[in-house]
């Protein structure tokens, strides 16, 4: 049993003020795997005070000094790589192979990208007779989710440090173990006291206090749209910057010239990534009506081959979902889809044989889904794909854009000009053309209720900076 009873504040491991504890459940077994301390408003205040005290000196550091710190963090992170993979596999059910190749890898990828961006970045330049200058925004509160624990920490923390900001991190209580290891990494890398602070707690107590704190200049939040609205409401009275990466319901448009076998197979793999617990995955597959019967046959066959099992088994392709609440929510979505008349072609309700313990969801595919159904409108956050027929490209674009979300979109087809034309018409922050490899320099973020602001690459760094105009600098 892992016990974390201290927070990392002002360069020290300190006992929390809050007396509450939280039991972390291993979703593969439903057994307790850790106990963590839960902070309160006083803990938030202590962490913010430390960040505020550290700010003047850290703002004054040179680009070279911050690059050196980021490189030390990367070295320390790599030295704990396998431990990160094991902890994320334990706490949120990522199959160990996926935890190594995707979850832990993202820490290296985003730190490497942040270093590359900072090396080339200019903080000052001339516009006519005015000197433009980018300066760190100040103390940043970082609130991260459980589904990609380290990915979401690093895409916030690395650019904040690159910018010269100080930080208070509040990770999800459902995946705190990798976060605590990350605090050790920061300590080993020699981050100056107060530049990075970590507290644990829930959203209603510590998250809300961080968002409303008058000494916090910016909140970067990743989570549900519902929770994001509350964060923005808490932040509004102090007019702080709020960057949000929220929910998604991304459409995957298969054009009529597509290699159907490949497009459906890869589309399913995308939707089932991380057991469907990703905000930007292609959860709505839009297929030409004439190809739908063929596409559903492929989807049913491919879905049946997915091996679901415990996170520590190397051959598990899908692990459990994170907790009981998530499992029950997904089951309700599946029941609603069946009640509304969608056709179940793979998976369905109930537990996965032979497991009577563990939050395993059957990889599920529905066809004959219409845009008015709940499974077509709301984010499910589980391994559930909905297949929808369209009659023309205009119709497909209308379906894709007909949602409150706009995080990502996907377009597949053999004619690059057609694919690019459709991509331009989709109202979403990231469009993936023909299943490309990840580009960690791309800007990541959403339109509409999928959020405000961008992460990853140069755009991610810009979020943590304020723009100053020094007029009359040149005469």
Chain mean position to CA 5: 26
CA dihedral of 167, 224, 150, 355, whole degrees rounded to 10: 150
Could you confirm whether 245 is annotated as catalytic?
yes
Residues 432-454, buried b or exposed e (16+ Cβ, 10 A)? bebbeeeebebbbbbbbbbbbbb
Looking at the DSSP bridge assignments, the partners of residue 406 are: 447
Long-range pairs of 58-66 with CB within 8 A, sequence gap ≥ 24 = 58/136, 58/164, 58/165, 58/166, 58/192, 58/194, 58/195, 59/135, 59/136, 59/164, 59/165, 60/164, 61/164, 63/118, 63/121, 63/123, 66/118, 66/161, 66/162, 66/164
Catalytic residue (choose from 279, 379, 455, 463): 279
Residue 460 to residue 432: CA distance in whole angstroms? 19
Q: E strands of 364-421, at which residues?
A: 364-367, 384-390, 405-406, 408-412
Task: Pull the structure tokens for residue 395.
Answer: 């119709």
Looking at the DSSP bridge assignments, the partners of residue 22 are: 36
Q: What stretch of H or E contains 296?
A: helix 292-304
Residue 213 to residue 109: CA distance in whole angstroms? 32
Q: Contact at 8 Å (CB) between 396 and 374?
A: no
In order, the DSSP letters of 249-287 are -EEEEE-TTS-HHHHHHHHHHHHTGGGG--TTSEEEEEE
CA pseudo-torsion sign 64, 457, 152, 77: negative
Catalytic residue (choose from 91, 113, 173, 245): 245
Count of beta carbons in the 10 Å neighbourhood of residue 5:
12
Residue numbers annotated as active site? 245, 279
């Amino acid at each position: 049993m892992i016990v974390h009873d201290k927070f990392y504040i002002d360069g020290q491991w300190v006992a929390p003020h809050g007396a509450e504890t939280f039991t972390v459940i291993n979703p593969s077994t439903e057994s307790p795997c850790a106990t963590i301390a839960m902070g309160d408003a006083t803990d938030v205040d202590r962490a913010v005070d430390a960040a505020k005290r550290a700010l003047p000196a850290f703002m004054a550091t040179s680009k070279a000094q911050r690059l050196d710190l980021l490189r030390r963090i990367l070295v320390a992170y790599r030295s704990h790589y396998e431990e990160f993979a094991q902890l994320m596999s334990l706490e949120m059910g990522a199959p160990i192979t996926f935890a190594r190749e995707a979850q832990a890898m993202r820490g290296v990828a985003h730190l490497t990208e942040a270093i590359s961006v900072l090396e080339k970045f200019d903080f000052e330049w001339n516009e006519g007779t005015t000197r433009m200058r980018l300066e760190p925004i100040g103390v940043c509160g970082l609130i991260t989710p459980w589904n990609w624990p380290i990915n979401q920490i690093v895409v916030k923390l690395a650019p904040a440090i690159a910018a010269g900001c100080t930080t208070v991190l509040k990770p999800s209580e459902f995946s705190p173990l990798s976060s605590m290891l990350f605090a050790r990494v920061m300590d080993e890398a020699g981050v100056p006291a107060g530049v990075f602070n970590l507290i644990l707690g829930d959203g209603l107590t510590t998250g809300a206090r961080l968002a409303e704190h008058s000494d916090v200049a910016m909140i970067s939040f990743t989570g549900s749209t519902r929770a994001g609205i509350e964060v923005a409401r808490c932040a509004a009275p102090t007019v702080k910057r709020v960057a949000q990466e929220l929910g998604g319901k991304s459409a995957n448009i298969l054009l009529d010239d597509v290699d159907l076998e490949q497009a459906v197979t890869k589309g399913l793999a995308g939707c089932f990534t991380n057991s469907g617990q990703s905000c930007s995955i292609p959860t709505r597959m839009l297929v030409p009506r004439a190809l739908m019967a063929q596409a559903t046959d492929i989807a049913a066959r491919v879905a049946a081959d997915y091996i679901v099992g415990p996170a520590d088994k190397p051959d598990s392709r899908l692990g459990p979902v994170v907790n009981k609440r998530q499992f029950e929510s997904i089951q309700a979505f599946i029941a609603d889809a069946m009640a509304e008349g969608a056709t179940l072609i793979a998976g369905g309700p109930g537990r996965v044989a032979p497991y009577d313990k563990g939050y395993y969801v059957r990889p599920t595919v529905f066809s004959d889904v219409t845009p008015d159904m709940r499974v077509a409108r709301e984010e499910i956050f589980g391994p559930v794909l909905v297949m929808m027929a369209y009659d023309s490209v205009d119709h497909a674009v209308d379906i894709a854009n007909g949602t409150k979300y706009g995080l990502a979109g996907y377009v597949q087809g053999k004619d690059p000009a057609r694919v690019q034309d459709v991509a331009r018409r989709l109202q979403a922050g990231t469009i993936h053309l023909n299943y490309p490899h990840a580009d960690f320099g791309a800007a990541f973020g959403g339109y509409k209720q999928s959020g405000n602001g961008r992460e990853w690459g140069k755009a991610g760094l810009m979020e943590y900076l304020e723009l100053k105009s020094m007029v009359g600098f040149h005469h």
